[in-house]
A and B are shown apart, each in its own frame.
Chain A
Amino acid sequence: MNVANSEGYTTADGRKIGGVLMEMKNITLRFGGVKAITDISFDIREGEIRAIIGPNGAGKSSMLNVISGFYVPQEGEVWFKGYKRGPMKPYQVARLGIARTFQNIALFDGMSVLDNIMTGRLTMMKSGLLSQALWWGGAQREETEHREKVEKIIDFLEIQPIRKTPVGRLPYGLKKRVELARALAAEPKLLLLDEPMAGMNVEEKEDMSRFILDVNDEFGTTIALIEHDMGVVMDLSDRVVVMDYGKKIGDGTPDEVRNNQDVIDAYLGVAHD
């Protein structure tokens, strides 16, 4: 397969992958004197599932935070949809169409599942402050429209029974699913998942894998995910970036990465628990 081709490529299972959606060019991120990321470049193509893997402390989460605007790299360029992205606040990045989930789950615990997912559509609601305050004109109709979209996502992720439950009361696995639902509600161009399977049992992992594949399939959403579980990553993703100590040591299809000697040394070759 020719990944370098700017027209995209076709995956082993026959899905068409498009052009470059996001490109990271020579990203370097420092915290004081510590380099979290050193000169890393890679791209994410339209419609693909891209994984970023690496041992603990490799800088995976930092990379995700750079993509989503939570960290601003000292060096390098971030390109999205063919434009160079200036330094942006996370909420501005979100409005560009990049949604994310968090490793440690960041939901609004006091709010119901439905309200949590509705926040995902906030940036798409256009009615102004006055109209909203007086519940006037478009505000009500808009609410109904967005509510319908959200109900579809709820159906899709099979969380109908917990729609009205306050999120704080849900078990871990379901919280992860609600977080995914909230990110999906924003109809993102690029969906970032920070360890979507961390801390889950086998059954929950299988469910989550299925949802990730379905999302990609159904909505054509481009997905970039960070994951520890090697098996899961290899099954899910089209291409994989491997990081170690803040450097990129491998990039390619799961098979290519699996046979890369650097990767084996750094990650797979080491006995891990």
Chain B
Amino acid sequence: MPDQLLFAMEVTLNGLMAGVMYSLVALGFVLIFKASGIFNYAQGVLALFAALTLVGFQNGQIPFAHLINAIFGTNLHEFGWHLPAVVAIALTGAVMVLLAIIIEKFVLKHLVNQAPIILFMATIGMAYFLEGLGDIMWGADIKKLDVGLPQGISETVESVTDSLFGYGFFIDNLDIVATVVAALLVLSLTLFSQYTKYGRALRAVADDHQAALSVGISLRFIWVLVWSIAGVVALVAGIMWGSKSGVQFSLSLIALKALPVLMLGGFTSIPGAIVGGLIIGVGEKLFEFLVGPMIGGATENWFAYVLALLFLVFRPQGLFGEKIIERV
């Protein structure tokens, strides 16, 4: 096989893996949008907050240490223990559920029946609040996140492809793990929503609030449930992104990368979020590879948004989104 083609294949594979990371973030958006019609601007910050909390638990950091020290003149920083990754992840999951309950109680509950734009504004407020809270609780320094996921170039992939094509592909182990995790996540979410009573209730609420109430579904419970799930998805995204590039506040900006994914996949489709992410991932890598050199490179920064713009013009509901046709 010609080198150029093999190289393109490697780029495509890497693009797919990068796409999975985008999909992970987009997934959280879709879940909340489907169930409540809210575009949750805070989804990226949720991922950041989850990652910060996870690192904090793992390293035995004392929450609000700086604040406590400033007020009481103490010099506290750490409890002095290190939690195993599994325990820290479970605890962080619990924190995300708690956060969902708090959000429902203090924000959503008071905004029932408000226009979507008002709820959207509320999530912007939440995003900044959470970002600040994360800062005060855990500090603003860049942290290393290590939950024991394999890192670095996969030697298996390299040697297998080398023996097949005489050219070894460079694939990051972490990306492979992320792909497997994302697949499992989507599979379990799909099974949950299709075959359990809570899944059915969730779909019911997504479809029609009034009808859902009339069959005895508590909207507030469903909101807590869906924000909890979105929180856990954010935790997974936070772990993956955090392991890749460290836990820093720019992590919250991954939400911006999820936007074009949603435009492509449609705001209401879980498979759409996945396929959209993959298309963006592959698209931007291949575009950079094929067209980049001709126009001076750095296309990855804008390619996704231009693609999203094209979709907005020609297919606003996305690839998988629902086009609402009213019967008249």
* B203-A111 in contact (CB<8A): yes
B112 to chain A, nearest CB (A): 11
Contact B203 A102 (CB under 8 A): no
B144 at the interface (CB under 8 A from A): no
B164 within 8 A of A: no
The minimal Cβ–Cβ distance linking B225 to chain A, given in whole angstroms, is 8
Instruction: Choose one: A90, A120, A143; the contact of B213 (CB below 8 Å).
Output: A90
B243 to chain A, nearest CB (A): 26
Contact residues in A for B208 (Cβ distance below 8 Å)? 106-109
- If A106-B210, A110-B207, A119-B204 touch, does A91 touch B196 (CB 8 Å cutoff)? no
Q: Mask for B186-228, Cβ within 8 A of A = 1, else 0?
A: 0000011001111011011011101111111111000001000
Is A118 engaged at the interface, CB distance under 8 Å to the other chain? yes
Q: Which residues of A contact B322 (CB under 8 A)?
A: 110
Bound Cα distance A139, B199 (Å) = 13
Is A3 located at the chain interface by the 8 A CB criterion? no
Please report the C-alpha to C-alpha distance between residue A129 and residue B202 in the assembled complex, in whole angstroms.
Answer: 13
Among B198, B207, B214, point to the contact of A132 (Cβ < 8 A).
B198
**Among A106, A111, A139, A182, residue most surrounded by chain B Cβ atoms (within 10 Å):** A106
A235 to B91, CA, bound (A): 63
CB-CB under 8 A for A186 and B215, given A132-B197, A135-B195: yes
Task: Name the interface size band of chain B.
Answer: 20 to 34
Measured CB to CB, the nearest residue on chain A to B194 is: A115
B residues in contact with A102, CB < 8 Å? 210-211, 214
Q: Which residues of A contact B214 (CB under 8 A)?
A: 68, 90, 94, 99-100, 102, 106, 183
- Which of B192, B201, B225 is close to A119, meaning CB atoms less than 8 Å apart? B201
Tell me whether A91 and B207 are in contact (CB under 8 A): no
- Cβ-based interface call for A133 (8 A): yes
A91 close to B211 (CB less than 8 A): no
Chain B residues lying within 8 Å of A133, measured Cβ to Cβ, are: 192, 196, 198
| A123-147, CB < 8 A from B | 123, 125, 127, 129, 132-133, 135, 139, 143
Alpha-carbon distance A89/B191, docked complex (angstroms):
30
Residue numbers in A under 8 Å from B204 (CB-CB): 108, 111, 119, 122
A245 part of interface (Cβ distance < 8 Å): no
In residues 101-117 of chain A, which contact B (Cβ within 8 Å)?
102, 106-111, 115
Q: Is the CB of A99 within 8 A of B203?
A: no
A118 nearest CB across to chain B (Å) = 6
Q: State in angstroms the CA–CA spacing of A258 and B201 once bound together.
A: 44
Q: With a CB–CB cut-off of 8 A, which chain A residues contact B215?
A: 94, 99, 119-120, 122-123, 182, 186
CA distance A252 to B186 in the complex (A): 58
Q: Nearest Cβ in chain A — how far from B259, in angstroms?
A: 24
- Judge whether A70 and B213 touch: CB under 8 Å: yes
The total of chain A residues at the interface (CB under 8 A) is 34
Residue of A nearest to B214 (CB): A100
Q: Which of A91, A135, A143 contacts B216 (CB 8 A)?
A: A91
Q: Which residue of A lies closest to B188 (CB)?
A: A133
Interface residues of B in 208-252 (CB under 8 A from A): 208, 210-219, 225
> Can you name the residue of chain B whose Cβ is closest to the Cβ of A133?
B192
Q: Assess the B216–A94 pair: CB atoms within 8 A.
A: yes
Q: Which residue of B lies closest to A101 (CB)?
A: B214
Are B218 and A89 interface neighbours, CB within 8 A? yes
The distance from the CB of A166 to the nearest CB of chain B, in whole angstroms, is 11
Task: Give B196 Cβ to nearest chain A Cβ, in Å.
Answer: 4
Question: In whole angstroms, what is the CA distance A91 to B112 when docked?
Answer: 15
Question: Closest Cβ of chain B: how far from A146's Cβ, in Å?
Answer: 9
Cβ B207 vs Cβ A111 within 8 A: yes
With the chains together, A34 CA to B197 CA distance in Å?
41
Which chain A residue shows the least CB distance to B198? A132
Find A107's partner among B203, B211, B219 (CB 8 Å cutoff): B211
The contact of B200 among A91, A107, A115, A127, by CB within 8 Å, is: A115
Minimum distance in angstroms from B191 CB to a CB of chain A: 7
Asked whether A95 lies within 8 Å of B200 as measured between CB atoms, the reply is: no
B residues within 8 A CB of A119? 200-201, 204, 212, 215, 217
How far is it, in angstroms, between the C-alpha of A107 and the C-alpha of B210 when the chains are bound?
9
Q: A108-B204, A110-B207 are in contact. List 6 more A-B contacts (CB 8 A).
A: A91-B212, A91-B219, A107-B208, A110-B203, A111-B204, A122-B216
19 A-B residue pairs with CB within 8 Å: A68-B214, A70-B213, A95-B216, A102-B214, A107-B207, A107-B211, A110-B206, A111-B207, A115-B200, A119-B201, A119-B204, A122-B216, A132-B197, A133-B192, A135-B196, A139-B196, A182-B215, A183-B214, A186-B216
Considering the complex of A and B, which 6 residue pairs feature the smallest CB-CB distances, nearest first?
A: A94-B216, A106-B211, A108-B207, A123-B216, A90-B213, A132-B196
